[in-house]
Structure 1
């Protein structure tokens, strides 16, 4: 499992340096101490009484709405800002418009940080939205027939994810160690001579009647109002933490007490039961 390194808040250390620099003048030192204390207090995420959380529409929004109501009973106020894309939430977080966000996996976050230089960091893992192989024709992968057509996402990493699900189900064999970088061109063994086509995963729901099966991230299944349990013939291993989603904050706030409190509200048996009952396997709790 990937171990995420949290950033450390350096406010107290900075205050100490300021006091040392002014140590020759008692009055100045007192003034500097008061100023540093005031600045430290202003850094708290809950100083305004509200934690502002960016979420994508769908599972993240629904789960946080559930948590929001429970936390409010203790006076812990959460304000949700809902996004329909994966770019703006990180920009808004980096620019201070959000306190945290809950929208993304670790690999995606790494790419964002590498591309933008944003000083944002994961705080805790929350859910996984697994990749599945879905079919309207079959109930299991064992029913696949010679020459069947399988639709595979053409987006980076998602193509590899879908192929790995098929490999784990014993349908195909991929080169050892290739992992999520695998493409349909890398398939080494294909005993059923399946035909693989690639395309936009957002279109796969409409295409399900025309193919034997399709690799679809479960959020599309949820958006279409379909049941993952009814349509899935193979699913990503729920124990694989590669694609776990993360709650992310600015690095300077990584040790803020409000975030530890939020994690306690999030990681409860009650929230896990809500996830299980609401999403029926299309979303899995990470704890």
Structure 2
């Protein structure tokens, strides 16, 4: 049985405010400076929590690290909980997403060490090749700023659309310059993209949500994001000022160990790629 606490976004949204009020002092900094207790890390279930649980079960005790893993199914609460001091760190996101999150929400989360890449992919229950999508096909894409831009770039790199020159990590469907198949885009929450596959012709799905829904990116994706020069590596992150917490430094070392690299390679077979 996995010793992992599963917390829904709804419950935590209510709890974060209460806990945040008690965790912060008059200057807004976390009042907890205890580095002797367990290191509590928020993570997406797959593959992040799986990797952390491997560390917990096989490496942490020997290294003298007391690790507690809490699972979150959304991309917002892990950062707000880290900012509030409800958890000590998180492991679920990439740099463009974090930059956008910090800018829009006024948080102060910083990366510690990059661990892996989850290639974004285009999936379908109706066609077996991307070029088989018919004119007017409906394609679901994540609705958050960074992942929508990433999804559109994936489609552009594979010739399904053309984006306007100069658009980067904030591209939206309004930045599509050419759409030869007249694709219609349905913007949905990233976590819902796998579930949308029965209602749309295709969907661009983040790697962790693909894996957790039974999709194998290396086998099932119509097109898959390249790992070469990819800025979307997922990392361990903390609130600024906590980077030197000895527990955090110890976990960073374990997450980039040969044992973890082998675990990623053996378990995910190319669907998740170690970035170290």
Place the TM-score, normalised by the shorter chain, in its bin. Answer: 0.7 to 0.9
Matches within 5 A, 1:65-80: 65-69=53-57, 70-80=59-69
Q: Please tell me whether residue 123 in structure 1 is matched to residue 112 in structure 2.
A: yes
Alpha-carbon separation, structure 1, partners of 2:223 and 2:40: 37
User: Which residue is 2:137 aligned to?
Assistant: 149
1:258-285: CA deviations, max 9, x gaps? 3332222111232123223333444332
1:196 and 2:162 are equivalent in the alignment: no
* Structure with more helix by fraction: 1
Q: Please name the residue that 1:54 is paired with.
A: 42
Residue in structure 2 matching 1:252, options 228, 235, 241? 241
2:149 counterpart of 1:160: yes
Q: After superposing the two structures, state which structure 1 stretch, 199-208 or 147-156, moved more.
A: 199-208
SS at match of 2:111: strand
SS in structure 2 of the partner of residue 198 of structure 1: strand
Moved more, 271-280 or 198-207: 198-207
Once residues 283 and 63 of structure 1 are traced to their aligned partners in structure 2, the CA distance between those partners, rounded to angstroms, is: 11
Q: Secondary structure at the match of 2:63?
A: coil
Question: Secondary structure, in 3 states, of the residue corresponding to 1:226?
Answer: coil
Larger radius of gyration: 1
1:199–1:129: structure 2 CA closer, same or farther, 3 Å change rule?
same
CA distance in 2, matches of 1:203, 1:95: 26
Q: Quote the residue 2:226 is aligned against.
A: 237
Aligned to 1:30: none
Q: What is the rounded CA distance, in whole Å, between the counterparts of 1:170 and 1:153 in structure 2?
A: 16
TM-score under structure 2 normalisation?
0.74
Secondary structure of the structure 1 residue equivalent to 2:218: helix
Q: 1:241 to 1:171 in 2, by over 3 A?
A: same
Q: 1:114 aligns with which of 103, 114, 134?
A: 103
Give the CA deviation at 1:226: 2.2
RMSD between aligned residues: 2.8
- Cα distance change of structure 1 residues 237 and 118 upon mapping to structure 2, 3 Å threshold: same
Structure 1 position 257, deviation (Å): 3.4
Aligned partners of 2:149 and 2:172 also within 8 Å: yes
Q: CA deviation at 1:256?
A: 3.0
What are the superposed Cα offsets for residues 90-121 of structure 1, whole Å, 9 maximum, x if unpaired?
Answer: 33323333222213222332233334444432
Do 1:104 and 1:245's aligned partners in 2 also have CA atoms closer than 8 Å?
Answer: yes
Q: Deviations over 1:9-68 (max 9, x none)?
A: xxxxxxxxxxxxxxxxxxxxxxxxxxxxxxxxx9563x23x3222223232111100011
| Other structure's SS at 2:222 match | strand
Query: Match of 1:267?
Result: 256
Aligned to 1:228: 217
Gaps of 5+ in 1: 1-41
Query: For 1:90-109, what aligned pairs fall within 5 Å after superposition?
Result: 90-109=79-98
